[in-house]
Each structure stands twice: as C-alpha cells, then as structure tokens.
Amino acid sequence: MSDINIRKTGRAGRITLTRPKALNALSYDMCLAIEDAVDKWRDDPEVAVIVLDAEGEKAFCAGGDVAQLYQTGKDGDYGFARRFWADEYRLNNKLHSYPKPVISFMQGFTMGGGVGIGCHGSHRVVGESSKVAMPECGIGLVPDVGGTLLLAQAPGRMGEYLGTTGARMGPADVLHAGFADYFIPEADWPSLIAQLEANGDPFVLDKAATPAPSGNLADLQSEVDQLFAGETLKEVTDALAKAEGDFAADTLKTLRHGSPLSMACTIEMLRNLRGPGIGMVPALQQEYRFTYRAMESGDFVEGVRAAIIDKDRSPQWQHQGDVPQADVEAMLGPLGDNELKLEENT
C-alpha cells in the first residue's frame, strides 16, 4: 500500500505512514493494515518492539480521512462510517493493551485519529514541531479513538478545556496533559530508531530525553480548573462569561464556534470516565455510542461540510445555545445489539 510502509527491520516491527501531502491522514485501509501487522507481530519472537513514525515534516497524522466518511453520510449511508469507527476503535484498544513496547515518534500535527494510533502506546515521543490536539467538536464529532480516556486522565479539568476547544498543545503542553512521555529533539530520532531496530530496547529513549521548551498549560491549570468546574456546557460557558481576563474571553469565543451538542456530550463523557476501574474499553464504548449516531442525529455531516468540503466556516448547528440534557442522553444512551464489540472485525 502506497499510503503506509509496514516491514520488519532487525528487532523492530516498523510502521511508517507515507501520505505526507495529505498530512498522513488515516484511511480505513491504513487502519486495517496496521491492525493486521500488530496482530502478526504479537507472538513473533523476532519482533521486540513496534515503532510508529511518519514521512514529512508537517504531520505524524493529522487525523482520520473524514472526507471519505462525509460522502457516504451525505448519501444516507451510515453503515460505512460505523464500520470504520468500530474497526478503528478496535485497533486503538489493541495498541493500548499491547504486550510489547509500542513506540511512536510524533512530529508536527497529531490530531484525532493520529492521537488514536500515536498516544496509546507505551513510549510516546514528541519533538520541537509537535502539535497535538483533539479538535473534533469543531466538526460536530466528539474526541474519540480513546481520546476521552486521555482527556479524563489529564490534570484537573484540563481535559474539558482541551476537548471542547480543540486547543493545540506544543511539546511541553503534551507532556503536561499526559498525551506523551518524552521530549527528544527531532534530529536525534533517526539514530534512536536505528538503535531500536538493532537491539529492541526502549531504554534508549530514557537516556535521550531532555526537558521540553516551555509551554502554557501548566501556568493555566488553576484557571482552567476554576472555569471548567461546571457539570454541564451551560455552567462552563456561564463561568467563562462572568470571568475577567483574556483567557476566559478567548476561550468563550472559541466555544461559540464548536458544535454545542458535541461539546455538551464531551463534558458529560469525561465526567462519566472519572473514577476507579474506568479504562479504555468503557471510553471507546461511550465514544462509539456518539459516533454511531453522529451522522444521523448529530452535527457531523454539517460540520465536515463547513470545515472541509465547502470551507465556508459557517456551520448551521442543531443547537444555537443551551443543549437540553435529554439530547445529550439521547446521543450517549445504550445501543442495544449495536454496542461496540471490540473483539469483532466488522
């Protein structure tokens, strides 16, 4: 497949995304190819580690190929997207629970589906150019691919802020939020990958890691915790409207552009994921309840149209203000026989 290069090199199973002109956007076929590889390597004694990287300077993976999903949804075919999401989430879960080290090198943009393949492994590396975000609320979706688990585990209420605004994190911010483990200068990556291929020992990353350039999130943490303490989107926007300062004003302005239904559901989903015994499987199952309904009942088709297809940046969301709790519950309620089954290939 020209979009991805999968091979074994020394002790490493190598997966390289090769769509740099498309910012290495993740297609359905690429997901299935990655899953096939990690399945084969699970019990392969020659493979000690898996290394995920990508060609090009601009992006590790800027997200899923949503244009591919848009057309089927616009035509009234919801089955393709539901199959895509179910199979993608199965891959995310396998990477999260993989018995061997999974090492990702994430330069440039890592967003959406890129977070799903890059941020659930055991060793996650960022560099100077790294920009990580979960911007799904801007296209009428919710943070998915296991992103709600990462957001729920972020310090304080940082997850609500990142999930609703889609704010981009530089390398220090990525480390603060818990989406990565190491900052290593990108010039060092080729030699580290060569060492991983030679000996299959991820300890080389510990020796190569250095402090990241300063970021913003750590300094904003207390303000974010205060402003996003509300249990609902309305409580959050009310707090932002009453607060003084540029950060609150800029954040409120950003929230005015996102899908109210998506943002309200995101806040509800993160609340549901906090507590003992909560993990990746409940996160993915909850995300799938939303994405299963996203085309038929949510704002996804309109959001993609406005942002990517027509690019008029003027989506007509279902809700123009407050979102009734009943609408949130309708998007996140059980799916019965259609619940996500992570053990099945659809």
CATH of the domain at 276: 3.90.226.10
Reference 237, options 213, 219, 218, 260; nearest CA is 260
Q: Is the dihedral of CA 16, 17, 19, 20 positive or negative?
A: negative
Q: How many CA atoms within 13 Å lie on the side-chain side of 284?
A: 24
pLDDT at 346 over 70: no
Rg (alpha carbons) of the chain, rounded to whole number? 19
Rounded Cα distance between 161 and 276, Å, is: 22
Q: Is 64 a catalytic residue?
A: yes
Q: What is the largest CA-CA distance in the chain?
A: 59
Per-residue pLDDT band for 178 (boundaries 50, 70, 90) equals very high
Q: Is 118 a catalytic residue?
A: no
Q: Is residue 344 part of a domain?
A: no
Q: What is the number of domains present in the chain?
A: 1
Q: Is residue 195 part of a domain?
A: yes
Strands of the 109-111 sheet, one edge to the other: 59-61, 109-111, 131-133
pLDDT, one tens digit per residue, over 129-177 is 999 999 999 999 999 999 999 999 999 999 999 999 999 999 999 999 9
Q: Is residue 346 part of a domain?
A: no
**Burial letters 230-252, b for 16+ CB under 10 A, else e:** bebbbebbebbeeeeeebbeebb
DSSP letter for 213, please.
P
Q: Is residue 343 part of a domain?
A: no
What is the mean predicted confidence (pLDDT) over 91-99? 97
Q: Is residue 49 part of a domain?
A: yes
Q: Which of 53, 65, 88, 144 is catalytic?
A: 144
Give the structural domain span for 315: 4-338
Q: Is 321 a catalytic residue?
A: no
Q: Which of 13, 53, 63, 64 is catalytic?
A: 64
Q: Is residue 8 part of a domain?
A: yes
Per-residue pLDDT band for 345 (boundaries 50, 70, 90) equals low
Q: Which of 113, 166, 170, 303 is catalytic?
A: 113
Q: Which two tokens stand for residue 99?
A: 């018995």
What is the mean predicted confidence (pLDDT) over 58-80? 90
Reference 271, options 212, 317, 309, 328; nearest CA is 328
Per-residue pLDDT band for 76 (boundaries 50, 70, 90) equals confident
Q: Which of 136, 197, 287, 327 is catalytic?
A: 136
Q: Is 136 a catalytic residue?
A: yes
